[in-house]
Amino acid sequence: MANSGIDLKLFNELKEMVGQDFMGELIDTFLDEAPQLISALQNGLLQNDREIFYRSAHSLKSNAASFGAQLLAEQAKALELLGRSNQLDQVGDQIKKLSAEWKSVEEVLKGLRRDFA
């Protein structure tokens, strides 16, 4: 089922939907965008900008779910809800945990990416 952060069943469903040729491009885009979204989360928190925080968490949640990165999606959803309800003071170390999970997902995606060269 899960391959260190990625549910391969969901990953393969996405691959079926978009096709082999486009899958590599999607992975590359996610590998580029996820760190930017995590950085935006951190900046939104530092600046107490709930809009940036909420939107970044929402985008990360959606992208992670598409790739089968269930834990990452759940973590991003929790942050999204905090942003939406203007409870940035409740974030604590959740971004740190999300970042650690992203590193696991990133490694798996880089390995899977080799299949789409």
pTM of the model: 0.93
Residue at 25 is within a domain = yes
Q: How far apart are CA 76 and CA 63, in angstroms?
A: 10
Residue at 69 is within a domain = yes
In sign, the C-alpha dihedral spanning 58, 74, 43, 38 is negative
Q: pLDDT grade, residue 1 (50/70/90)?
A: very low
Residue 59 belongs to domain spanning: 8-116
Residue at 75 is within a domain = yes
What three-state secondary structure class fits 59? helix
Contact partners, residue 42, CB within 8 Å, separation at least 6: 95
The number of folded domains in the chain is 1
**How much of the chain, in percent, has pLDDT values that exceed 70?**
96
Q: pLDDT grade, residue 4 (50/70/90)?
A: low
* CATH number for position 40: 1.20.120.160
Residue at 2 is within a domain = no
DSSP type of residue 115: G
